[in-house]
Structure 1
């Protein structure tokens, strides 16, 4: 005779029950945590997004404030002018010397060892409104006396390169995320419709996709962006750039999703759903779309760095956002002259932000590709 007990199950059974009911998202997260490249990419992406959202707080000084023209980066030092070690880090203010630059014939700027500026965290500085609403004057880092500090030097107008790069991450990432969102929605929808229905619908859609893919993108970008007058408002120019990038980028996504849909439409459970009379809408949304999403998520993480690179390249050619907005592409316009790069190499600093962004999203995409893959 069997005896039943109400005592709780042993710890081993609890663990098995918990792992048996693990959701797909939890399984993907557990796989992603095992990939050091995927986790490093995720951490960098989160830091980049936080930097863009709280740019006013992270930037040490006002990006529009001017100083002494081209000035080299200020190095952090733990020694005073006599070489003695000090615990609190400091930088030395930059002043103009009596020497002239042999290329530009401008006064050379050098450190003032007699006036050190102490560094600190959560210091007071230029006032700002966080999110345009919350007034504050606290910055993540900077000098304790509120004076200017240039860790990456200044541009030709004396504006801090680091602060401008931090503010520029907002526009560059906003353009990338908006373009990729539009490309994903349009490309996924068109690809699933084309691959599922097939026949004449698929033929006509694919001919249109081939026409879009046949356009030489770079000349077309330059031609379309040049149609906007110089006096056009910044918002109009920004919207036009997003529309142009989206209009030329959705076709490749739709072609990839179509290929996945063609394979999924022949799987047994999809054919079984057709046989019992399920509607096309239900089959697409309930059976095909969830299986396509794994590929779409990876494609999104790999498409974002491509848009960031494209925006930076167009900005280098002179087709970036207009001031007072700041983007990495706009900052790279100052590097168009070789003599300027040779004399003031620190103005290439926005390239480092672009490289970090590209690496972060590519690493995250690589980790997600392995975590999402059911095989």
Structure 2
């Protein structure tokens, strides 16, 4: 591979097989060839998700999350959101735009998790139609590993459970469909596919809720319409990004060939390299042990994060700065994608040089 090494939390570096898969001539999205392609993508997604009914969209992870929220929550319904950072706040905003009555349980400070007991106490205070959470908070590199316990408590109380797993699916062990009701994700993260395709896997309970919505979402966000086209016609309601689906199929095939569990473990091993090595360069993890994500690691920097990111970019290494109030204090380094051999050694070498610069 040539060019920059992408350690960004999406898009990520893709396998050559994925790049080649997208290079063919476009086909009609109303053809039998396309129907077979969509069938295969959905079957592969079900294997990566571990079940559920996968629904495929043309758009980023934000489209998947907003479609999930607007298709599973009615205006006026009470929703509880567990929030750890910027993307938790976006989930709150999306649900409020839908007209939901949103309450939140937030972390006490960046990098610490919301205790499951605190969420369960909140669940016992009132009835909620849904509980929503981000499994891996991309802005911090925090994975909410209490999610399954919270989901079971919410289900026991009659609530649907919605999960933003955009930076988690295929890199973390996300709670299975049945334990939760909807899981939104996207191709350009741990799946290591092309940006511009996203997907949601839903449970039977979620399908029933979508079917009987009184106030339907906008057409492009309507997952019931997507499901109806998928199940009845093996098509999409609108023109999809056909060649991106060829790339997604190949990316999913690569994961299945390797083994989903092995692919997840590879992300965990890469993350452990970062968490163990980077403190030696003066970079300290933002997130408490036990909740540090496999897919993206966030570190407080000894110099302004913009300075460090710029110095690394000059050396062909692309990382991301922090978000929100941590923008100038944190860098985020992802472990996702088909990084070439020696990528981490090049990262560490570039860090040593960047931190030695007088401008730092």
TM-score, with normalisation over the residues of structure 1?
0.25
Greater relative CO (CA pairs within 8 A, separation 6+): 2
Which has the higher Rg, Structure 1 or Structure 2?
Answer: 1
TM-score, with normalisation over the residues of structure 2?
0.25
